[in-house]
């Protein structure tokens, strides 16, 4: 049996429109609820982050207080470092001259006699000392005046000078026979001192100065 | 009712939703992001503070040794020129080595190149045998106060055994096997304004501070 709708089409159309409008409103409300939910979620995240931040700042403040109470020991360490730097500066280019005399007594040939000797290294805190440290150039020089019974002794002297640790560039500038056919000579020579000739603390100081 | 009412509702809803996201959700999200960044920074700071605290605790534990090292260095490089102490040290080093230091000439203190300490350069004329001089140099190198020999010149002395005594001085000329030597040795002080005409006492500088 067929059914007949007696409602006018306008009313049916209006009902459909109301239904669509209601659906649209519901959709909008759903979206706004979703947005609101996001907002609430972010608010919770913010609250959590702020709580954690406050706790972290409290921890940091506690640590800072502990650090403040120990600051004096930090200052002590700083003072020690300054003093050590000072010590390094003082011992820059330190050479053990007692060792130099000992070495000379070991290397001088049996038939040679030392008549004079002079040794010198760079002084503390001078510009020269710093440059020498940086370039690794000789840090000092020893000059000798001596006499020998023959030229072989002079050659032996120069050879032995170079065998001492840190002694470099031995060179004899004059060899003069004391008289005709005497075969006896006076001679002068020099030897440079490399950084290896320095004391351990002198080398350490130079390394510290070179950075 | 307008046929386009649902569309208007959707558009209005979309506009409201977009505005809500733009003016409520996004700023809140920004605040969360800022707070998290601050938290990360605070956590990094905690690590730094923990590290610093550990270093300070280590420094506290090592404080007695640190104090001792500072005192040792202050003995090496005293806060004042202390010339009497310097003279006594030189005399003691010479006596132990059997060397006769007949001239001791300390120069006025001069500021080092880097301005951190003063240098007192002392010229010594001393006599003794070769090995006496060697021992004297060794004694200088191992003094409780920092002393650095800068130069030495050794020459053979004139053989003689004469001794001249006057009312104020005794001069002994060298005997055979004795050598004459000229030694320049540097002493140091953290007093940056030492010597005649300066303010007495140590300088008020970090390098010259006491250990407290």
B77 contacts on A by Cβ (under 8 Å): 83, 86-87, 90
Inter-CA distances, B8 with A18, A20, A72, B136, Å? 13, 11, 73, 108
pTM above 0.80, yes or no: no
| Distance of alpha carbon B144 from alpha carbon A110, whole angstroms | 37
Q: Do the bridges between strand A167-177 and strand A185-193 make them parallel or antiparallel, or are there none, so unpaired?
A: antiparallel
State the Cα–Cα distance between residues A17 and A12, nearest whole angstrom. 9
The verdict on a CB contact (< 8 Å) between A102 and B52 is: no
Question: How far is the CA of B195 from the CAs of A83, A134, B19, in angstroms?
Answer: 22, 32, 81
Q: pLDDT (tens digit, 0 to 9) for every residue of chain A, 211 residues total?
A: 677 777 788 888 888 888 988 988 899 899 989 999 999 999 999 999 999 999 999 999 999 999 999 999 999 999 999 999 999 999 988 999 999 999 999 999 998 999 999 999 875 544 444 444 445 678 899 999 999 998 899 999 999 999 999 999 999 988 999 888 888 899 999 999 998 999 998 988 888 877 7
User: What is the rounded CA–CA span in Å between residue A129 and residue A200?
Assistant: 16
Question: Is A117's CB within 8 Å of B154's CB?
Answer: yes
**3 state DSSP class of A18:** helix
At a CB cut-off of 8 Å and minimum separation 6, what does B83 contact? B106, B120
Strand partners, A151: none
List, in sequence order, every residue forming a beta bridge with A189; answer none if it has no partner.
A144, A172
- B203 token code pair: 């300088």
pLDDT in tens, B96-152: 999 988 789 999 999 988 888 999 999 999 999 999 999 999 999 999 999 999 999
CB of B159 less than 8 A from some CB of A: no
For residue B53, list chain A residues with Cβ-Cβ distance below 8 A: 63, 66-67, 70
Higher pLDDT, B209 or B71: B71
Query: End-to-end alpha-carbon separation of chain B, Å?
Result: 93
Is there a contact between B152 and A119 if contact means CB atoms under 8 Å apart? yes
Which of A64, A85, A97 is opposite residue B49, by nearest beta carbon? A64
Mark out the alpha helices in chain A (DSSP H runs): 9-69, 71-90, 97-107, 127-135, 151-163, 200-210
């Amino acid at each position: 049996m067929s059914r007949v709708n007696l409602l006018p089409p306008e009313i049916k159309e209006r009902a459909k429109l109301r239904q669509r409008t209601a659906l649209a409103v519901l959709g909008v409300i759903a979206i706004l609820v979703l947005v609101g939910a996001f907002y609430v979620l972010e608010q919770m995240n913010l609250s959590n982050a702020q709580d954690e931040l406050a706790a972290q700042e409290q921890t940091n403040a506690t640590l800072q207080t502990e650090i403040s109470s120990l600051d004096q020991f930090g200052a002590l360490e700083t003072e020690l470092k300054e003093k050590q730097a000072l010590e390094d500066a003082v011992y820059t280019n330190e050479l053990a001259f007692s060792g130099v005399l000992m070495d000379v007594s070991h290397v001088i040939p049996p038939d040679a006699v030392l008549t004079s000797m002079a040794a010198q290294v760079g002084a503390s805190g001078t510009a020269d000392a710093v440059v020498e440290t940086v370039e690794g150039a000789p840090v000092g020089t020893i000059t000798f005046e001596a006499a020998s019974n023959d030229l072989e002794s002079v050659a032996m002297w120069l050879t032995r000078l170079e065998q001492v640790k840190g002694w470099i560039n031995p060179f004899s500038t004059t060899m003069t026979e004391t008289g005709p056919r005497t075969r006896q000579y006076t001679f002068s020579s020099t030897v440079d001192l490399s950084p290896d000739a320095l004391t351990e603390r002198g080398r350490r100081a130079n390394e510290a100065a070179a950075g | 009712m307008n046929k386009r009412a649902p569309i208007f509702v959707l558009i209005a809803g979309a506009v409201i939703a977009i505005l809500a996201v733009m003016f409520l959700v996004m700023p809140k999200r920004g605040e969360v992001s800022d707070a998290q960044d601050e938290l990360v920074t605070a956590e990094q700071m905690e690590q730094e503070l923990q590290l610093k605290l550990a270093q300070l605790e280590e420094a506290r534990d090592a404080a007695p040794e640190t104090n001792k090292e500072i005192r040792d260095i202050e003995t090496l490089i005293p806060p004042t020129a202390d010339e009497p102490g310097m003279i006594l040290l030189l005399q003691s080093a010479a006596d132990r080595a059997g060397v006769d230091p007949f001239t001791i000439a300390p120069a006025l203190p001069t500021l080092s190149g880097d301005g951190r300490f003063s240098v007192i350069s002392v010229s010594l004329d001393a006599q003794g045998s070769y090995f006496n001089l060697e021992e004297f140099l060794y004694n200088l190198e191992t003094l409780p106060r920092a002393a650095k020999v800068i130069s030495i010149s050794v020459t053979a002395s004139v053989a003689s055994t004469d001794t001249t005594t006057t009312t104020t001085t005794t001069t002994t000329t060298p005997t055979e096997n004795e050598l004459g030597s000229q030694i320049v040795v540097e002493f140091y002080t953290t007093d940056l304004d030492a010597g005649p005409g300066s303010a007495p006492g140590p300088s008020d500088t970090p390098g010259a501070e006491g250990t407290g």
